[in-house]
Amino acid sequence: MTKCTQCDEDVGATPYNPMPEWKIKGPLCSKCYSKNISEHYPGEHVRLNLMDDDEKKKNLR
């Protein structure tokens, strides 16, 4: 089980690699990767799956 470098949560099946200019060593979960994208590259971005696990479960019902 691989952990996210920033939040220490399990990255799941798809670990994301940080951009070199972010100066982050190690994999990121999708939520932290999206957060870094928005912080380092301001502007309009379409972000998907930013819900936490509880929100995902609610939306599946």
Residue 30 structure tokens: 């999708």
pLDDT above 70 (res 16): yes
Q: Summarize pLDDT for 29-50 with one digit per residue, the tens.
A: 999 998 999 898 887 766 666 6
**Total tally of structural domains belonging to the chain:** 1
Q: pLDDT grade, residue 4 (50/70/90)?
A: very high
Q: What is the pLDDT of residue 47?
A: 60
User: What is d(CA 18, CA 36) in angstroms, rounded to the nearest whole number?
Assistant: 8
pTM (predicted TM-score): 0.66
Which domain does 52 fall in, by range? 1-61
Rounded CA gap, 28 and 13, in Å?
12
